Homo-oligomer: A and B are copies of this chain.
Amino acid sequence: MKMSETTRPAIDPRTVPARTTSGYPEPWRSRVLPREKRALGDAAGLTRIGVNLTTLAPGRESSMRHWHTHEDEFVYVLEGELWLRTDAGEQRLGPGMCAGFPAGSKDGHQLVNRGSQPAVYLEVSNRDPRDVAQYSDPDVDLVWNAPHAPGKFTRRDGTTY
Contacts and interface: CB of A to CB of B under 8 A. Distances in A.
Contact of A41 (B6, B51, B100): B100
A11 to B, nearest CB: 5
B102 A46 contact: yes
Contact of A51 (B8, B47, B74, B128): B74
Interface in A28-59: 40-41, 43-49, 51
A161 to B, nearest CB: 29
A44 B1 contact: no
A48 B130 CA distance: 14
Contacts of A11: 97-100
A46 B74 CA distance: 9
A46 B105 CA distance: 10
A103 to B, nearest CB: 6
A20 to B, nearest CB: 20
Interface in A65-102: 70-72, 74, 76, 84, 86, 88, 91-93, 96-102
Interface of A: 1, 6-13, 40-41, 43-49, 51, 70-72, 74, 76, 84, 86, 88, 91-93, 96-103, 105, 107, 109, 122, 124-128
